[in-house]
Structure 1
Amino acid sequence: MTLQFSTDVAAPCGQCGFEAYHDLYASAADAVRLDETFAVAVTAERVGGMILFDRQLWGVAHVRPRRRVQRNGFDHFTAQIVLKGALAVDTPDGSRIVGPGECALIDMSQPMETRASQARVITLSTPRDVIEAAVPEPGRLHGAVLPQDRACLLTGFLRSALDEIPRHGAGDRQRLERVTAELLSLALAGHAPPAAEVVRTASEAVCRRRALRYIDAHLGTTPDDIARAIGVSRSVLYRAFEPRGGVASVIRSRRLARLRALLARPDEGGRISDLSRACGFSSVSDCSRAFKAAYGLSPSDYRHLRWAEGRPSAASPQGLAEWWDDLR
């Protein structure tokens, strides 16, 4: 339940610190070295269904261009709280400088870039439904910055949690997840859209949740199948998933996540062609291309790597990528 990485520690396979960090974050963002001061130290903790990061950053940027957003299908949010230094945040709506005590909100289904010359940042990665429970239209929060007085309770709690959580097991971490969700909701109070927009966006959120449950139970489905099954028109379904790159992109990402989970299981010895069909792919070649584009390895190479490693090490890109997959 804990992952650690530091560029001060020798990287595996002869990689330099930047190469190792770039690979670690490759499934989420492109790491960019800004200057010769580059250095990173990261500790990550699982908090129930959330991920809590304590990151110390020097001379580094993290970039999610539109092509990456569409490719990996992430739809969770991050709350990035600056403890020291400053974090520059760029979104399609503009640029902001986030200072100590402030919290930037990032919608991972939209393009973004963050840059740090020298900063310590707490990052909370949380499923979208946690945000939707507090703000019916969470997409409009992308790039928003909560001032220090709105974020102070959440900041204080997460700073304490990072010190204490290594001593707590899974059951306690689920309790901490519930407290974190409540404090995040409190920090977001006042960001609700106008009443008419609330009705529309809340309806779209319900449509997405019902569609995602259907997709996970029927990975070979099509958009037409989904619309019929949940009782909405195709236009309503497409509109609900437009902020996430479209319903077809979401179906593909759910198929890939399921296949990845199967390939990681040491007790799953089925042929990759059979597993790909079970995960909804009609063509093994299309499956292999999509898998490599999303995860950087072919399905067979990924299976061999995971079976050779057993469980991923603390600094494993596969381990962190699977944590992010759980947030979908």
Structure 2
Amino acid sequence: MMHDEDKDTHLASEFVERRRWPRVSQAPLVQEAVLGPCLVPLRFETEGFPLDRQFPAWREHMSALLNTRLPDNIDPKDGFAARQAVWNLGGMLFVQQTAPAFRYERSADMVRFSPIDHWQITFLRTGRTWTGVDGRVAQNEPGMLEIRSLGQPFSGRALATESLSLIVPVDLFADGGGLPAACNNVVLGGHRVRLLIDHLSSVEANLDRFTQADLPGIRNRILAMVVDTVTPLVDHNDDNDQISQIGLMTRARRFILSNLASPDLTPDALARELAISRTRLYELFETSGGVANYIRRRRLAAAHAMLADPSDAQKVGTVALAVGFDSAANFSRAFTQQFGYSPSNIRKRISGDGAHPVGQADKAPQVTFESLLRTLDLF
């Protein structure tokens, strides 16, 4: 009788492994340690201020984006413990924010005189917000996604919240025809929204590992996911209308960029080029802050690139004419409004050490929330 040990030995002796090719171990593919510099956020916290100065400090910090005030039953002397981290993902801001309850408004006057007309896309981890546009109130809560145009007036209130937001120039969506105008002040939910929120949370978890080389892929993936999430939920046009919108926007953008220096680049000229009515043209650029505003921003961005180029020695007045402005004075005024510093400051820095082409002539520029908002279109 064969014992169990003898059976195992017998079976092992009969088994012969046959392979056509030799076995080669495949090591897992793992990214090497990051060697380049990681992203550095702009951080702001009120807790370093005296209690009675915390809310005024927050109000000033947010003033380029919103007018803010405390709820009626809150005493400013009790403090306002808020914090914010802003990451620039190559022309798209990723904003982490925690704040107590406050009220906010972006008034018609702010919109009229501000160059900031980006899309703001927000999801809450905690708290609730209520935002009104033209009498229509959108309520945001955890698990939902809110979209709002900073190129339109709005007002609202927030409970104590923890949030993640994207602030995206409208032009980043131009190649896809732009986000539908119906996006403004809507709150979305569902499985598409959950996938986008999960992706943004994944990006957030890795912000301190990304390098500059990572940013184009990260940004483009987020843009694609936003469009895939938003468009089916808010765009009620048929497919042919959507294709037409994309084609028109692409043609319009190319025509504008090819004719920046022409004084004849006007809304009427663009409407003739596209063979559409002025009404249709204004609808096409509604989410871009209007046709004239879009052309102006593109001209200023081109001028900024020329002035910041050390190899380009053109004078400010020459650059102004080269991008379609009728006078250096009008150009300088529009440039300063757009970027928060004058075009001459760029030239002064270049003629000095060349290291910091933006800001005051005698010191390096200070990066602020406002300067990030104003210069997003340059990336």
Measure, in 2, the Cα distance between the counterparts of 1:233 and 1:207.
Answer: 12
Q: Which amino acid aligns with 2:292?
A: A
Please, which of 214, 221, 233 is the counterpart of residue 172 of structure 1? 214
Displacement after TM superposition at 1:299 (Å): 3.8
Higher mean displacement: 120-129 or 159-168: 120-129
Q: Matched residue pairs, number?
A: 319
Higher mean displacement: 184-193 or 247-256: 184-193
Native 8 Å contact 1:83 1:121 kept in 2: yes
Secondary structure at the aligned position of 1:166 is classed as coil
Q: Does 1:318 align with 2:371?
A: yes
- How has the CA–CA distance of structure 1 residues 74 and 209 changed in structure 2, closer, same or farther, with 3 Å as cutoff? farther
Q: Please list every run of 5 or more consecutive structure 1 residues that lacks an aligned counterpart in the other structure.
A: none
Higher helix share: 1
Displacement after TM superposition at 1:225 (Å): 3.4
- How has the CA–CA distance of structure 1 residues 179 and 316 changed in structure 2, closer, same or farther, with 3 Å as cutoff? closer
Within-5 A mapping of 1:1-328? 1-8=39-46, 21=58, 24-27=61-64, 29-34=65-70, 36=76, 37-74=79-116, 76-128=118-170, 138-147=180-189, 149-188=191-230, 190-196=232-238, 199-200=240-241, 202-219=243-260, 220=262, 221-264=265-308, 270-300=314-344, 305-310=359-364, 312-313=366-367, 315=368, 317-323=370-376, 325-326=377-378
Higher strand share: 1
Native 8 Å contact 2:182 2:234 kept in 1: no
Native 8 Å contact 2:67 2:105 kept in 1: yes
Displacement after TM superposition at 1:191 (Å): 1.2
- How has the CA–CA distance of structure 1 residues 83 and 258 changed in structure 2, closer, same or farther, with 3 Å as cutoff? same
Q: Which amino acid aligns with 2:333?
A: R
Displacement after TM superposition at 1:144 (Å): 1.1
Displacement after TM superposition at 1:282 (Å): 0.2
Measure, in 2, the Cα distance between the counterparts of 1:278 and 1:211.
Answer: 20
Native 8 Å contact 1:66 1:111 kept in 2: yes
CA root-mean-square deviation? 3.6
Secondary structure at the aligned position of 1:83 is classed as strand
Q: Which has the larger radius of gyration?
A: 2
Secondary structure at the aligned position of 1:275 is classed as helix
Secondary structure at the aligned position of 1:280 is classed as coil
- How has the CA–CA distance of structure 1 residues 67 and 201 changed in structure 2, closer, same or farther, with 3 Å as cutoff? farther
Displacement after TM superposition at 1:161 (Å): 1.5
- How has the CA–CA distance of structure 1 residues 108 and 297 changed in structure 2, closer, same or farther, with 3 Å as cutoff? same
Q: Which amino acid aligns with 2:40?
A: T
Give the fraction of aligned pairs with identical amino acids, expressed as a percent. 25
Native 8 Å contact 1:80 1:124 kept in 2: yes
Q: Which amino acid aligns with 1:222?
A: T
Native 8 Å contact 1:32 1:63 kept in 2: yes
TM-score by length of 1: 0.78
Measure, in 2, the Cα distance between the counterparts of 1:215 and 1:120.
Answer: 40
- How has the CA–CA distance of structure 1 residues 214 and 190 changed in structure 2, closer, same or farther, with 3 Å as cutoff? closer
